[in-house]
Structure 1
Amino acid sequence: MDQESGHQEDRAEISARLNTRLSTFFHFLSTTFMDALHHIRAWSRLKKVIVAVALIAFVAVTFLVELPSITVLRDWAADAGDAFIFLFFVLYIVITQFPIPRTFLTLASGILFGPVLGSVLALSATTISALVSLLIVRGLLGEWMAPRLKHPAVENINVRLEQRGWLAIASLRMIAAVPFSVLNYAAALTSVPVLAFTIATFFGSAPGTIATVVLGDAVTGSGNWLAIVFSALLAGLGLFGIYLDQRLPVKSGK
């Protein structure tokens, strides 16, 4: 009886902690949402119109604009000559500012430029694209978001990212299921240092990006079992990195 009673008390304590954390998190979401509404209402009419148009354009590009096919890209390459390398590099950065999967562009890098130049182009464009996204979102919302990161629901997470964000970012980059652009937006709203974010993006994205370029025959739609196995191994490594980050302590009193 005593042992059963002890188990019930443990379950009750765990349930109470979970409820407290959920309550704190939902309070953070609700207060942030209401603060955002009040902040938007204080905008001038012109600013509201500009932001609304920008959001509509963002959604339209994300869902309505189609990526050029490999055939079209080859035609562009033939017309532009050597300048196409730079044009493709810029196109990669611009397109990946939106929540559009970058897999096609990475595959296209290998098909159009070969494994070496394709890997260099795709990885460098990926890194610069992430940095640009971070700077844009942080420039627009960073100052507004900063005081809200002191909320109990997110303060510990933010401190962890500020001190050791490179590990979390690099680990998440290895997990293919984590959207590239969404991670950029989310990281921008935290205190993760810009340099740590950029370096972690480069090294965390490198294995998957290079593998996608090299194993470019997956673009045929038949897939490649080696690519699937490699992606699974990377995901496992990324999850281990997240677990390790959670286990390692952070400095207090910062």
Structure 2
Amino acid sequence: MSSESSPGTTRATVSGRLNTSFSSAFHFLTSLATDAWGDLRRWPAWKKVSVLTAVIVAVAITVVVDVPSITTLRDWADSAGPAFVWLFVGLYVVITQFPIPRTVLTLASGVLFGPWQGTLIALGSTTVSAALSLLIVRGLLGGWMRPRLTHPAVARINARLRDRGWLAIASLRMIAAVPFSLLNYVAALTSVPLLAFTVATAVGSAPGTIATVVLGDAVVGSGSATAVVFTLALACLGVVGLILDRRLPVKSGK
């Protein structure tokens, strides 16, 4: 008798695993939402005010406040002098705490400070912003989320990020379609170590940041075929990294 499974048996096995995974994930999300609502109602006043203020500020910045134009940024640079570098870094770090694309600020880094200094400023600001987001989200929600990471729907993912999160984070940073701030928020709710997350962010963000700073012609809307090709190449490299992360065994030291 052949030891190979028939196509029908294989399909049934795959279907069963998918149904189990979806059912487990649905149960996890349902229980998570129920627990979140109950715990939210028991939060102290200061935490409720902090979250509400952050939401209001995020909505205001996203909907009401326009991203400063390059001309405006140049005027600020001329009036502030050398101090504008630190002002720009501060704005970069604060603005990117919210779900706002950082591309404009990265492009502005190249236009205002040149390719070398602009790259250092943009990449440094990106790394600091990501680490700060991780600490803020964990400070607000980490204690509540940590006990729930043992749920079957997320336990394996959490363990993978804890033991080798740098590869997944670095790969995702290379894919332009993955929102910068969203990845910060999601990673903060897992056990990925801060140091690994920070280093992976710097390494994974470096190619795209360098390309965006150097290709300043995209700022004026002229576009660049080279930029498009480079972005697609980075995305492919990121996907390859995710595939490797999926296939390589995790060697946990615990």
Same fold judged by TM-score > 0.5? yes
Structure 2 CA distance for aligned equivalents of residues 50 and 95 of structure 1: 17
Structure 2 CA distance for aligned equivalents of residues 235 and 219 of structure 1: 21
1:186-237: per-residue Cα shift (whole Å, max 9, x none)? 1000000000000000010000001100011011212100011111111000
RMSD: 1.6
Structure 1 CA distance for aligned equivalents of residues 205 and 46 of structure 2: 40
Letter aligned with residue 127 of structure 2: T
- The aligned counterpart of 2:15 is 15
Structure 1 CA distance for aligned equivalents of residues 253 and 118 of structure 2: 45
Alignment CA distance shift 1:92-1:54 (3 Å):
closer
Q: Percent identity?
A: 66
- The aligned counterpart of 2:129 is 129
Structure 2 CA distance for aligned equivalents of residues 39 and 253 of structure 1: 34
State yes or no: 1:178 paired with 2:175: no
- The aligned counterpart of 1:88 is 88
Give the match's secondary structure for 2:152. Answer: coil
Question: What is the TM-score of this pair, normalised by structure 1?
Answer: 0.94
1:161-197: per-residue Cα shift (whole Å, max 9, x none)? 0000000000000000000010011100000000000
Letter aligned with residue 113 of structure 1: F
- The aligned counterpart of 2:104 is 104
Alignment CA distance shift 1:47-1:94 (3 Å):
closer
Structure 1 unaligned residues grouped into runs of 5+: none
- The aligned counterpart of 1:143 is 143
CA contact (8 A) 2:47 2:140 kept: no
Letter aligned with residue 127 of structure 1: T
Structure 2 unaligned residues grouped into runs of 5+: none
State yes or no: 1:239 paired with 2:239: yes
Cα offset, 1:46, TM superposition: 6.1
Cα offset, 1:64, TM superposition: 2.0
- The aligned counterpart of 1:229 is 229
Letter aligned with residue 250 of structure 2: V
Question: What is the TM-score of this pair, normalised by structure 2?
Answer: 0.94
Alignment CA distance shift 1:129-1:253 (3 Å):
closer
Cα offset, 1:50, TM superposition: 4.8
Letter aligned with residue 178 of structure 1: V
- The aligned counterpart of 2:169 is 169
